Chain A
Amino acid sequence: MPPSICEVCKDARAAVIRPKNSQKICKQCFLTVFEREIHETIVANNLFHRGERVAIGASGGKDSTVLASVLKTLNERHDYGLDLVLLSIDEGIKGYRDDSLETVKRNALQYQMPLEIVGYDQLYGWTMDQVVAQVGKKGNCTYCGVFRRQALDRGAAKLGIKHVVTGHNADDVAETVMMNLLRGDLPRLARSTSIVTSSAASDIKRSKPLKYAYEKEIVLYAHHKKLDYFSTECIYSPEAFRGSARTLIKDLEKIRPSSILDIVKSGEDMAALVPPEVSGSISCAAEAEGEANGCGSRNTNGDSMDLMEKQIAANEAAASLETEIKLPTAPAEPAARDSAPVVSIHDKKSKGRRKGKINKQVMGQCERCGYMSSQQVCKACSLLEGLNKSRPQTSIEVGVEDEEGSTTLMRQIAGIVISAG
């Protein structure tokens, strides 16, 4: 069979079958078209403005490495005028993150970008290895997800940067759409597809320039560009919902490669249909983002499919026994109990499936660490409180009963050191 000729330039030999549309094209045309599509995404969404300082959330993996490389290329080619910085989170996972951070350090040299590393141990007093030793392998992704979200924001704040870009690709977004459908999580369904998530409560904006890029094309790009990236997956296994959604997405892609973008499109359309009283919590993106962070979930009751299945069954059993008792008059206004005006409280978590009641999230600040939160105490601080309670008493901070969470976090943040890579 004669070698096929590139369908784009009709000149060079085709070396790549594009996973996205099965086009046979040559290596150079592939690199060009891949970069051009990301440029188009950036321009169409007005992602950047001239002179902006942008932190690239860099893990050393393929997605963020390709993102850094493409952004550097495009920044020079199209003169975006961006000041690009690499921002890495050190979760403290031996045999995974320490090695991948070495990759990021090399990337910093290769792309001549400054590098900032923020560690969980500095911020929270716990590495992920310690968390796993404490809570076990199940559910630890919750901790990691919650911690990372804050860590990226804090790292950016430290650098005085207001925009963090992440390497979430089309596969991640599609996976998240399916996962949130399975989990029944409408607020996250509403925001997980948007390319930019910013929050009224945080001045740090997040965006995902690779939102329409196929994971397979990212791998191809990294391969043909000979990029230096780290390919080991996190040693702690993904959470069940995401795992199930991931398998499904891969099967769908085999049947019809366009499925991934088709799901992204479905996700965008469904997001537009999420009722405003539910998506009203959209502004808390900063708190609840990380929706597609590639591994864990942060939803406590979404951690395990088994757990959720049990809850649904229990609700249903309860509903079948339920006799509705209505109060003769409207319930009295709940007494104003919040002393701090910026803090809003969920008075009641509605249990079961009461129709028409939606928990609306209102942003305030965590009373312990000052991070934005819809709760009195932010997720990270409440997770920390649980961790610290069971930590052996040899640790330094324990003792100041009520404020241990806040003091730990405050002190660690104050003492954070910038390492320049």
Chain B
Amino acid sequence: MADPATADLCVDCRERDATLDVRNRRLCTACFMRYVNSKVLKRMESYRYKAAEGDEKRRLLLPVSGGVSSLVLLQILDAQHTRQLAKRNRTAYDLVVVRVVVPGDEDSPTLMGDYKELGHRFSMHSFHPPLPLHEVFHMDDHIERDMEHVGLRREPGETDAAFLDRALSCATSVTARADLQSILQQRLIVSVARQQNCESVLWGHSDSRLAALVLADVAKGRGGSVSSTIADGPSTHGINYNYPLRELFKAELQSYAQVASEPLLEKAAHSEGMTVPLNSIRHTSIDSLLRTYIDSQGEKYPGIMANVVRTASKLEGQQASVFGATCPVCVRPIVRSEGLLHPDSVLCYGCDRMRQDIKS
């Protein structure tokens, strides 16, 4: 048995006292921070310096939500930039940060101030002004035509904001509303990336968040496209998707935010700690049910929940033989498998399901 004096030393450096339990290993704060950083930077290896000097510099879009995960990502990449500048006097890529303001967010009195503060703190990067979700109708050239597939048509003279409000209120279920909103949000972010000449979107999804997304997509009949949704690399949107936090649990990002000596992260971690309890199950969306499921089960079985993402990633997202086309609404591949449940529609099964819950 270990000598009591050495019992709680960090298992990595064997110098400092361990302060945290990380996947059954006792680590000190410094080693834990290195662990988080290395997991992220390993995922960013494809964005190293370009070979030729004259090449145009890469631009990557990082959407932030105000939550802990995307802020941790921003902080880690910012630190990487600082190191790159010190070493080579230039960075390997440029970051463009954007915040989408979704319905419900607008009332937040601190949103604008917080975002400004963020831009101030991470001033090395360009911050796109906050974008209200209804900008999607302005920035995405095809969105109006595509929304007609789910029975949503802009009325003459209707403003973007009014159209968005009406579209969301046409959803007869909480799930369909959440589904529609997340599709619009995703399309808006892709449009911004295009407009800003970004080659990739860096999503701040933790492993836990991705697991919840996988299970929710399966529960919404979107299982066929889930492997391509969570894949790193080219997406069906014609732009790269990257999930640099995919190997870190939500709880680990929370811990990181608390120990990183970064006031903005601490603040976010603090406000996220106060989660609102689920209201009655009928008023819960499938997405939030599965987030709660992963969080609660993840406390006891973090590995199993993480394994969900690994399993879904093993599905062949690009197997041409079973893919018919791309769904005009969610822009994800449509799988035509055997079975009796095929929508008589140009939409994928999941969007067709959503359409049935939209009464315009």
Listed in ascending order, the chain A residues whose CB lies under 8 Å from chain B are 40-41, 44-45, 177-178, 181-186, 189, 193-195, 212, 244, 248, 251-252, 254-256, 258-259, 261-275, 278, 305-306, 308-309, 311-313, 316-317, 320
Residues on the B chain within 8 Å of A181, using CB = 214-215, 218, 308, 311-312
B101-109, B125-133, B139-147, B314-322 - interface stretch: B314-322
Q: Is the CB of B339 within 8 A of A193?
A: yes
Residues on the B chain within 8 Å of A265, using CB = 221, 223, 339, 341, 349
Residues on the A chain within 8 Å of B25, using CB = 317, 320
Asked whether A255 and B224 contact (CB < 8 A) given A244-B297, A312-B304, A316-B23, the answer is: no
Main secondary structure of the interface of B (DSSP, over half): helix
User: Measured between alpha carbons, how far is A266 from B305 in the docked complex, in Å?
Assistant: 19
Q: Is the CB of A309 within 8 A of B303?
A: yes
Interface residues of B in 127-181 (CB under 8 A from A): 173-175
Q: Is the CB of B218 within 8 A of A177?
A: yes
Say how far A44's CB is from chain B's closest CB, in angstroms: 6
Q: What are 8 inter-chain pairs, A to B, with CB distance below 8 A?
A: A254-B282, A255-B282, A261-B341, A265-B349, A268-B339, A273-B316, A274-B315, A305-B304
User: Measured between alpha carbons, how far is A134 from B64 in the docked complex, in Å?
Assistant: 56
Say how far A245's CB is from chain B's closest CB, in angstroms: 10
Chain A to chain B: the 6 pairs with minimum beta-carbon distance, closest first: A266-B223, A269-B224, A312-B303, A262-B221, A272-B337, A268-B339
Q: Is the CB of A272 within 8 A of B340?
A: no
Could you mark each residue 281-319 of chain B with 1 if its beta carbon is under 8 Å from any beta carbon of chain A, else 0? 110111001000100010011111111101110111101
B220 within 8 A of A: yes
Say how far A318's CB is from chain B's closest CB, in angstroms: 11
User: Measured between alpha carbons, how far is A409 from B222 in the docked complex, in Å?
Assistant: 45
Asked whether A266 and B303 contact (CB < 8 A) given A255-B175, A272-B224, A273-B224, the answer is: no
Q: Is the CB of B311 within 8 A of A186?
A: yes
Residues on the B chain within 8 Å of A306, using CB = 301
B110 within 8 A of A: no
Which partner residue on chain A sits nearest B340 by CB separation? A44
Residues on the B chain within 8 Å of A272, using CB = 224, 319, 322, 335, 337-338
Q: Is the CB of B303 within 8 A of A270?
A: no
Q: Is the CB of A262 within 8 A of B339?
A: no
Say how far B330's CB is from chain A's closest CB, in angstroms: 14
User: Measured between alpha carbons, how far is A178 from B219 in the docked complex, in Å?
Assistant: 9
Interface size on B, residues (CB 8 A): 53
**19 additional A-B residue pairs with CB within 8 Å, beyond A258-B221, A259-B220, A272-B224:** A181-B308, A183-B307, A185-B311, A212-B340, A255-B175, A255-B289, A256-B175, A262-B219, A265-B349, A266-B223, A268-B341, A269-B322, A273-B227, A273-B315, A273-B335, A274-B314, A274-B316, A305-B304, A320-B25
Listed in ascending order, the chain B residues whose CB lies under 8 Å from chain A are 23-25, 173-175, 214-215, 217-224, 226-227, 281-282, 284-286, 289, 293, 297, 300-308, 310-312, 314-317, 319, 322, 335, 337-341, 349-350, 353
Residues on the A chain within 8 Å of B218, using CB = 177-178, 181, 263, 266-267, 270
Q: Is the CB of A270 within 8 A of B340?
A: no
User: Measured between alpha carbons, how far is A256 from B315 in the docked complex, in Å?
Assistant: 26
Q: Is the CB of B308 within 8 A of A182?
A: yes
Asked whether A255 and B304 contact (CB < 8 A) given A271-B337, A272-B338, the answer is: no
Residues on the B chain within 8 Å of A309, using CB = 300-304
Say how far B76's CB is from chain A's closest CB, in angstroms: 19
User: Measured between alpha carbons, how far is A41 from B218 in the docked complex, in Å?
Assistant: 23
Partner of B289 from A251, A261, A311 at Cβ < 8 Å: A251
Say how far B276's CB is from chain A's closest CB, in angstroms: 17
Partner of A312 from B215, B224, B306 at Cβ < 8 Å: B306
Q: Is the CB of A278 within 8 A of B173?
A: no
Residues on the B chain within 8 Å of A317, using CB = 23-25
User: Measured between alpha carbons, how far is A271 from B293 in the docked complex, in Å?
Assistant: 24
Residues on the B chain within 8 Å of A262, using CB = 219-221, 349-350, 353
Which partner residue on chain B sits nearest A271 by CB separation? B337
Say how far A68's CB is from chain B's closest CB, in angstroms: 22
Residues on the A chain within 8 Å of B317, using CB = 273
Residues on the A chain within 8 Å of B307, using CB = 182-184, 312
Q: Is the CB of B222 within 8 A of A266?
A: yes
Which partner residue on chain B sits nearest A270 by CB separation? B223
